[in-house]
Amino acid sequence: MPRLFIFGLGYTARRFAQEMRARGWHVDATGSAGNVDFADRTAVSQALAKASHVLSSVPPDRESGLDPVLSAYRDELGKAWYGYLSSTGVYGDAGGAWVDECSPTGGGRRTARSEADALWLELGARVFRLPGIYGPSRSIFDRLKSGKAHRIDLPGQVFSRIHVDDIVSGIVACIESGAPEGAYNLSDDLPTSQNVVVEEAARLLGIDPPPLQTVEEAGLSPMARGFYAENRRVANGKAKRVLGWQPLYPTYREGLAAIRAQA
């Protein structure tokens, strides 16, 4: 039986673990829903020694900027297949232009993430660079219902996004295809304004969208302001070409419709 070890059983990694268990894999993981304590070096080391595949979804530490997994366990990773869930934030602001895996990294606001991304690549990992993640219980529907959704008046501002199940299928495709180490963008086919996504979700809910506001009027948090400070389109051609991956939800329309149907 193939064995998977996951560092950090968060929203995306949990969906991946469920899929791999359904495929007959044994899965060990750290995190609140996992069965291994990250701080228990003996337990982690034993699980890593048995693992054929290792995936980390742990972001850099906010205070130190260091990758907790590499800081604690880099010397114990062995010869397994490695995967790392990174962010397309490593590309920084592109002024709305397309970025791909050959685009420069490290010039944006996520310098710690860029450094972790580079370290995992040096180790020979498959690094999955992800844009805005959405899915059941984590989508614009939830923000609309809570009154936290915004439409910001920033003409020309676009973002890429990805449904959580398309991330899972992308990682599975990478494993099954025997794809080489390196970076892979997993994003949908239609980068678009966040306002358009908000409007479509409001339409599906049968409610009016929130009013159009400036960044100042919306009273956004520093993190949210940072989100709107960058503008790029993320190309997914390499993942399609090398992994044989095709997103089940190629645009926000299919993704939102599926979430609404499951509600």
Can you give the pTM of this predicted structure?
0.96
Q: Give CA–CA dist 147/136, Å, rounded.
A: 18
Among candidate residues 101, 168, 90, 95, the one with its CA nearest the CA of residue 131: 90
Q: What are 24-31's contacts with CB under 8 Å, separation 24+?
A: 25/1, 26/1, 26/2, 27/3, 28/3, 28/4, 29/5, 30/6, 31/6, 31/7
Amino acid 45: pLDDT = 96
Q: Is residue 48 part of a domain?
A: no
For residue 241, give the CATH number of its domain: 3.40.50.720
> What tens digit of pLDDT does each residue of 165-197 get?
999 999 999 999 999 999 999 999 999 999 999
In a domain, 46, yes or no: no
Token pair 């790029």: residue:
232
Q: In angstroms, rounded to a whole number, what is the distance separating the alpha carbons of residues 23 and 32?
A: 23
Is 15 domain-assigned?
no
Let me know if residue 61 belongs to a domain: no
Q: Give the type of residue at 113.
A: R
Q: Is residue 67 part of a domain?
A: no
Q: Is residue 68 part of a domain?
A: no
Query: Which of left, alpha, beta for 135 (phi over 0: left; psi -120 to 50: alpha)?
Result: left
How many structural domains comprise the chain?
Answer: 1
> Domain range for residue 177?
80-262
- The pLDDT of 204-212, averaged and rounded, is 97
The pLDDT tens digits of the residues spanning 68-95 come to 999 999 999 888 899 999 999 999 999 9
Structure tokens at 169: 């299928």
Is residue 129 situated within a structural domain? Answer: yes
On whether residue 11 sits in a domain, the answer given is: no
- Positive or negative: CA dihedral 224, 230, 233, 236: negative
